[in-house]
Amino acid sequence: MTSPSLDDLLSTARVVALPLVTRFRGIDVREALLLEGPHGWTEFSPFVEYDDHEASAWLEGAIDYGWNETPPALRDRISVNATVPGVDPDSVAAVLARFPGCRTAKVKVAASDQTLAQDVARVRAVREVLGPEGRIRVDANAGWNVDEAEHAIHALAEFDLEYVEQPCERIEDLVEIRVRTKYMGIPIAADESVRKADDPLAVAEAGAADLLVIKAQPLGGIRRALRIVEAAGLPVVVSSALDTSVGLAMGAALAASVTELDYDCGLGTASLLAADVTGSPLLPVDGAIDVRRVVPDGALLDRYAASPERTDWWLERLGRTYAVLANAPAVHGVE
């Protein structure tokens, strides 16, 4: 893998702050740092609360995409799901309308400031909009303990869930909730237990999940993610982390190179942005996005440039994270 110098990275770095359509994951603005490598533009956008060690995997992923060729693509379009934040039921139809043609919706649940009753009402509204043939998956972001997860899954089961994503934080709790809810026949997916773990294969080896949610940038890049998929031997959903269209293009390249891709992917989240870095964003059309590299528009980079203070913060973070990556080049590797 080609490794640019820090000066190489800083020479093209642009920091943007993009407003969201709806508050999501506790934020109203998504910040990202974009870089141009010899193979095109790439993105470094770990969430601001992540420490430098965790963020170094994201930088590894950004470098992989910008400084190396992508693996051969097996498909040129990726079917994607709609993403429904923790909105009121009355807002669900408007959210889903931003994802034209999508047959699957991922619904956020288990937020600390919301109740299970609110989650149930939101999922019910999604089912009403999608109809009986639509697919619904819920994402708890590890917000429940085992007892809460069992109760919630039982309450949501009437809506014919495709799967429940990361109901609990710990791997041993995922094992337990799979046992407790096996009779319901609802699969359990792991996200944080893969991308935030020192050993991303531990969840599969423990039998803690039926499928894995794979994200290119947090896992250190497309190649490393593909090695995880091969070693885990489980079905996967390729997803994003509220990226710009540049970052979504990285995810689409990963999804295009996965051999078996039976689930709609979480790569339609440009629909949650009120602005993007390109005039041709990777928005869902007929329920899918194209597999292509994205070139930012200079005028949009200027229009949505982060403040000088936030730009300095990101550039300093880039330097610190680069040092972590340089001093421990194999820390995120799957050999």
139 among annotated binding-site residues: yes
Rounded CA gap, 7 and 33, in Å? 15
DSSP string, 154-175: HHHGGG-EEEEE--SSSHHHHH
Task: Locate 235 and state its tokens.
Answer: 């079905």
Tokens of 85: 């934040």
CA 150 to CA 182: how far, in whole Å? 10
* CA dist 102 → 80, 120, 136, 249, 283 (Å): 7, 21, 11, 18, 11
Quote the CA–CA distance of 210 and 204 in Å, as a whole number: 8
Residue 36 burial (CB count, 10 A): 18
**What are the Cα distances from residue 290, in Å, to 94, 154, 212?**
24, 37, 23
For residue 108, indicate whether it is catalytic: yes
User: Distance between CA atoms of 76 and 189, rounded to whole angstroms?
Assistant: 25
Tell whether the torsion through CA atoms of 324, 58, 272 and 239 is positive or negative: negative
Do 10 and 318 form a contact (C-beta atoms < 8 A)?
A: yes
Token readout for 306 is: 């982060």
Classify 178 in phi/psi space as left (phi over 0), alpha (psi -120 to 50) or beta: alpha
Quick one: the chain helix, strand, coil %, rounded to 5? 40, 20, 40
Active site residue 182: no
111 token code pair: 């937020």
> What is d(CA 133, CA 204) in angstroms, rounded to the nearest whole number?
30
One of 106, 182, 196, 215 is an active-site residue; which one? 215
Phi, psi (degrees; rounded to nearest 5) at 290: -80, 155
Q: Which residues are part of a known binding site for Mg(2+)?
A: 139, 165, 191
Q: Which residues are part of a known binding site?
A: 139, 165, 191
Q: Name the residues annotated as catalytic.
A: 108, 215
